């Protein structure tokens, strides 16, 4: 499994295990995973905090917000932070993200196109055999 690192005050690895899942449920209630993957931007620090807390029990949501704000725009954009956190969350939950599905579909389409174009007959005129 891929490591998901946010380079904040130091490189910090995101992990979403059972404890993180419990913290997410405490903060967000009984949301389904799909709604968490469509999280509002202002809720992102909470999800990031849940994924970072495993390594540093002293982290608070406010501290994570400060760390993220310090990293934006020097190291990340808000969109990039969101992508990293949601990728880690979906990967650790065992869910294929919509982006990954879309990339796979593109690969399938490209493969199918290659197969189709290789079977299209030549447009050159062929000599008739007597």
Rg, C-alpha atoms of the chain: 22
The CA–CA distances, whole Å, from 124 to 114, 115, 117, 119, 121 equal 20, 20, 15, 15, 9
pLDDT digits over 76-117, tens only? 999 999 999 999 999 998 887 555 444 444 444 443 444 444
Contact 61, 49 (CB under 8 A): yes
Q: What is the mean predicted confidence (pLDDT) over 23-51?
A: 88
The C-alpha atoms of residue 8 and residue 72 are separated, in whole angstroms, by: 10
Indicate whether this model's pTM tops 0.75. Answer: no
pLDDT band with cut points at 50, 70 and 90 for residue 17: very high
Mean pLDDT of 19-43: 87
Residue 129 in this model has a pLDDT that exceeds 50: yes
């Amino acid at each position: 499994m891929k490591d998901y690192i946010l380079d904040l005050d130091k490189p910090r690895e995101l992990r979403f295990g059972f404890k993180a899942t419990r913290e997410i449920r405490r903060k967000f209630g009984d949301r389904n995973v799909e709604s968490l993957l469509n999280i509002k931007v202002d809720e992102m620090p909470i999800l990031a905090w849940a994924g970072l807390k495993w390594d540093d029990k002293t982290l608070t949501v406010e501290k994570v917000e400060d760390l993220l704000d310090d990293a934006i725009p020097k190291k990340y954009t808000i969109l990039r932070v969101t992508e990293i956190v949601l990728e880690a969350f979906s990967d650790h939950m065992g869910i294929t993200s919509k982006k990954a599905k879309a990339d796979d579909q593109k690969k399938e389409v490209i493969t199918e196109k290659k197969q189709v174009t290789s079977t299209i007959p030549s447009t050159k005129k062929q000599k008739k055999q007597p």
